[in-house]
Chains A and B, each alone.
Chain A
């Protein structure tokens, strides 16, 4: 027998491109240089500690972008090309922000913060911020993994066994939609440490979406997939591991993603309510001192941490589900 020849994808036709400037990069560079000039040349309305550093950073970014623009974004810098409009907008945003805070003092303090004040938090309090990130991660990750594991096993068992489904379904249906934070008073009472209580809550928040989506994934595996393996002598354990679980994996990853989202919100609430460390605690504590620059800095770090974890999860998914076509890119 011979397979009907099917042409593989053609190698992308690559032509040597003549040197051309990257206009977007050049404009962004000029915008950042303008922002640097504004920061450095216009005296601040008040005494700020990090104005020179901010101006220096803006000037460096501007110079590098200008050079990259003139050189036509060679090599790996070419990946920045689509970001051109964003880089211009960020510089414009910095200029506007700098004007209404540090330069003209139009917005009420301390709630509104100048860019250099935010920068000062990073340069002066980075150790405490880093420590907070570490503590948040050390609280989040064990709880998430625990909840994801139990949720996955529960989901597979419910999808596979009618009897498990019969008993677990009503419980899941009643308890699941309840926000995990509703358990807060009970959790802090039932567990001896706030760390245990928070781990339990994070695990609970992760458990529900993972269990439900794993369950629905396993339950919707086509019967013919099992028949094929059964005719070839597969035993139930093989069917679970090699058919049900891989077939349900796309759905499982949706559950893991949703679980990650709810675990973030529980993490922050737990750190604000009882745990005496982590980014949530840092924000709560700074707010008590009206140190809003620290609150915003911590928010920014938290956003970076959350998006980093989601990106990591999506990377794992892309790697595990490489066989799928057209998955959503993060």
Chain B
């Protein structure tokens, strides 16, 4: 088990400088996540939800607003808040094991804590592929390796930026289940960005729906169903219709 992190975001504004002009991406976003909670950020592609994850990861400071992790302001990246990208971004020159060891190596813990690497690989079912190189892995396996690389750091907060977005649909369904099981067992806080309504409803306790860019929270839905959930649960099907209507997709609903 890990120390789950609680999040508190207030009045977050952010913009990109593009050709000398400011392009607003986030507008007055507030967000609270309880320690060990699971929140999905749902919105159209390119609306700015990924930017919010980068801010929480500490990769960039916001233009305005405050971000706090367990009450302390977020000023930079920290291994307790690990971001997992849509692409596995494994280093092609490193084996799966060496990729997973990245965080421990970066912090000089590889000698004392090296055993964690194999534990994490076993957890994601890749221990037999530890010596393989990324180009030898399938898309799902590569994303599992990226997950192992994140878990090695024993994060209190796992930031998932559409981590299943590029997988084939069967692998995707399987990994949704696996991520939920992992979250329940390990107890870390999860913040998931997705544009898949069903995925959000399956994996999160709360779903925040964002507007198109600049992103603001337009509605918040509590998904009060036990895990593991089933996609044909009538309650979820009704919620799905509700969310799609919020997003302005009445026809699709």
Contact = CB atoms under 8 A, between A and B. Distances in A.
Given A230-B77, A238-B106, A325 B135 contact: yes
A4 interface: yes
Contacts of A106: none
Nearest to B140: A4
B128 A231 contact: no
B57 interface: yes
A279 to B, nearest CB: 37
A75 B83 CA distance: 54
A323 to B, nearest CB: 5
Contact of A231 (B83, B87, B92, B123): B83
A125 interface: no
Interface centre among B81, B106, B153 (most CB of A within 10 A): B106
Given A242-B105, A324-B92, A325-B135, A231 B79 contact: yes
B91 A225 contact: yes
Contacts of A325: 135
A3 B125 contact: yes
Interface residues of B, number: 40
A2 interface: yes
Q: A-B pairs with the 7 shortest C-beta distances? A: A232-B103, A234-B106, A1-B125, A2-B125, A233-B79, A3-B125, A246-B93
30 contacts: A1-B123, A1-B178, A2-B125, A3-B124, A3-B129, A3-B140, A3-B141, A3-B144, A4-B140, A4-B141, A4-B171, A6-B141, A225-B89, A227-B54, A228-B83, A228-B89, A231-B57, A231-B58, A231-B79, A231-B83, A232-B79, A232-B82, A232-B106, A233-B78, A233-B103, A233-B106, A233-B107, A235-B106, A323-B92, A323-B93
Interface of A: 1-4, 6, 222, 224-225, 227-235, 238, 242-243, 246-247, 249, 321, 323-325
Given A228-B83, A231-B82, A242-B106, 12 more contacts: A1-B123, A1-B144, A2-B125, A6-B137, A227-B83, A228-B149, A229-B106, A233-B79, A243-B91, A323-B93, A324-B92, A325-B135
Interface of B: 54, 57-59, 77-79, 81-83, 85, 87, 89, 91-94, 102-103, 105-107, 123-126, 128-129, 133, 135, 137-138, 140-141, 144, 149, 153, 171, 178, 182
